Amino acid sequence: MPKHNNAIPRNHFHKHWNPESSQKGHIKTFFQQAKQKKARRVRRAAKAKAVFPRPVQALRPQVQCCTQRYNMKIRSGKGFTLDECKAAGISPKFARTVGVAVDQRRKNHSEESLTVNSNRLKEYISKLVLYPLAGGKKSSITTVKPDASKIASVQQNTFPAPQAVATAEAPRELTADEKSRHIYNYLRAQNRNTKFIGIRLARKIRKEKADKEKADGTAVKKGK
């Protein structure tokens, strides 16, 4: 027994390594992780070779991350919305057949996202090269004989995952006003202006309305 008020040892050294019934279990090991990693890489290369010159991954839209903490970051979304496909001039059914992911549940909450993703779709369609369909069927996009230079560019990541653009201001010299400015007081004033902009605007509108009524003589006098 251990001396003093120490933690009780609970070291389980008797592992059930053998899968027999007397062992009551079997411990799984994963010593094949490196081998499986190589096998996945080989399968991805074989898939890319089989579908060449088609891209391996579908085209994804550019979306903002969720929550206030991460909404300034940009990532790839699940699929393009129906409005984005409509703005790009293609149907969702046809988009799925040419390597474009479509998400019927996603909605556009701003004109910026609609414009960015529709332009992304238009650029993809402009660079798209289609083989003639089997059976002499017609396609909504003109099919041309593939060019070697265009096919080579498909294998490259022509449409990479969207990345956030750095918006930091480049280094510059401080102006005379900035050098003489009290930063703490300036920031407090800016915060107050941002916080009370709605209240001050409503107050200004009421004052202009009262002045106009007073000038026209239509102001209502309040009784004592």
One DSSP character per residue, 140-190 reads SS---PPPHHHHHHHHS-SSPPP-PPP-PPPP-PPPHHHHSS-HHHHHHHH
User: What pLDDT shows up at residue 92?
Assistant: 94
User: What pLDDT shows up at residue 187?
Assistant: 95
Scored b (16 or more CB within 10 A) or e, 67-83 reads eeeeeeebbebebbbbe
User: What pLDDT shows up at residue 203?
Assistant: 95
pLDDT by residue for the chain (224 residues), tens digit each? Answer: 567 888 877 777 777 777 666 666 667 778 999 999 999 999 999 988 888 878 888 999 999 999 999 988 899 999 999 999 999 999 999 999 888 999 999 999 999 999 999 999 999 998 888 877 666 665 555 544 545 454 444 444 557 767 767 678 889 999 999 999 999 999 999 999 999 999 999 999 999 999 998 888 777 776 65
User: What pLDDT shows up at residue 13?
Assistant: 73
Q: Residues 160-163: contacts with CB within 8 Å, 24+ apart?
A: 161/60, 161/75, 161/76, 162/62, 162/74, 162/75, 162/76, 163/74
Tell me the longest C-alpha to C-alpha distance in the chain.
102
By CB atoms closer than 10 A (0-12, 13-18, 19+), residue 215 is exposed
Task: Decide: pTM greater than 0.85.
Answer: no
Return the half-sphere exposure (C-beta side, CA atoms, 13 A cut-off) of residue 135.
2
